[in-house]
A = this chain, B = another copy of it.
Amino acid sequence: MNPQVTEARPRDREATRERILQAARTLFGEQGYEQVTVRMIAAAAEANIALVGRYFGSKAGLFGAVLQGEPTFSRLFDGDPETLARRLAEYAAERMRHPPDSPILRTLERSAGHPEIHEVVRERLITAVLKPLEARLSGPDAPARARMAAAVFLGIGAMRRRVGPRDPTPADVDRLTAVFEACLAG
């Protein structure tokens, strides 16, 4: 009769794996794929370098695992369709000032370059952002409209990172609302 195996074993594969995953989530979100090294992740997770390879195969595999573990944006898109544009605008306005609270968008904002993660980034952007939004749009051209709204999101983040943060004003939110309404208009 075993006691519960879930608690505080000194050697715990699952816990170590989780520490690595969590460290990677944080670091990738903060600095993007290429700026973060496997050694940094291992150090932050207080795990040995070789374990990263052992549990995730490769750096790209770990990156994929991070992205797969992130939730979609369905919550943001849920609610009254009439006020969807406004909610998106408020969220985007906050993105002028601060990086996304969600690691997934932080990670997607950065890490454009590397070819080896291109596919997983693309897949995750589609399933976590485009498809959920698209599903909530009525009328024609839903994919195109969702894509354009997502483009605005990415663009806002790109400007913040490249030019600098900006405190969103009420006028900014109004403008963004109009922008998203234009994006989503059927």
Spell out A's residues near B (CB within 8 Å): 32-35, 108, 110-113, 115, 118, 121-122, 125-126, 130, 141, 144-145, 147-148, 150-156, 158-159, 161-164, 166, 169, 171-172, 175-176, 178-179, 181-183, 185
Shortest CB distance A71–B (Å) = 19
Contact of A163 among B147, B153, B164 (CB under 8 A): B147
B179 near A125 with CB under 8 A, answer no
B164 near A122 with CB under 8 A, answer yes
Shortest CB distance A120–B (Å) = 11
A147: chain B residues at CB < 8 Å are 159, 163, 166
Return the chain B residue nearest A32 by Cβ.
Answer: B113
Prevailing SS type, chain A contact patch: helix
Give the copy number. 2
Contact of A156 among B32, B151, B182 (CB under 8 A): B151
B159 near A158 with CB under 8 A, answer no
The CA-CA distance from A118 to B160 in the complex, in Å, is 12
A172: chain B residues at CB < 8 Å are 144, 148
Contact of A158 among B32, B115, B158, B181 (CB under 8 A): B158
B121 near A162 with CB under 8 A, answer yes
B159 near A154 with CB under 8 A, answer yes
